[in-house]
Amino acid sequence: MKTGQNPPIQRYSTVAIVLHWVLALAILTAFVVGVTVDDMPLSPSKIKLINWHKWAGIGILFLSVLRLVWRLTHRPPALPDRIQQTMPGWQTKAYHATHHLMYALFFVVPLLGWAYSSAKGYPIVWFGVLPLPDLMPVNKELADSIKELHGAAAFGLIGLVALHVAAALKHQFIDKDGLLERMRPGH
């Protein structure tokens, strides 16, 4: 390496990259379906989409467990020194806070959806094959409150995802520091 040349960006592992992008796609798709189905009149199509939304939620929960276990057992690459030295302190704090909150919501959103379904009296049968236990007894009033929390948490997660994407795009197109290469598939 020549003097003054930046060292190459350390990338996340292939498993971490795959989990990141599959989870991102699942979360965005489940969110769009959830928002869409909420405004639909009752029909066989709505029931089919609700079931798909539940299946996606359980899948997201499962992927989140895998991702957390992977993250805890495989240390992610540190931010490159040149980025750490130029990033203002508030951005570093925002970076860590956003990631911690997203990880929390990866679990909170689907668990609230599962709790809502249980309290409403609608069982979850994952992919129409595996019946899951109810998280709580039927309670219609509680179900309404949980549904509100589920929606608020889902919108909070999407807001954090948008912030995460905006920060990645800023690094890619404004800072031009190569940070996006750490998580880009196909390299």
pLDDT, tens digit (0-9, with 9 covering 90-100), for 62-76: 999 999 999 999 999
Nearest to 168 by CA among 157, 158, 183: 183
Structural domains present in the chain: 14-78+88-182 (1.20.950.20)
Count CB atoms within 10 A of the CB of residue 115: 19
d(CA 71, CA 68): 5
**pTM of this structure:** 0.92
pLDDT tens-digit readout, 133-174: 999 999 999 999 999 999 999 999 999 999 999 999 999 999
Question: What φ, ψ does residue 170 adopt, rounded to 5°?
Answer: -60, -45
Separation of alpha carbons 174 and 166, rounded Å: 11
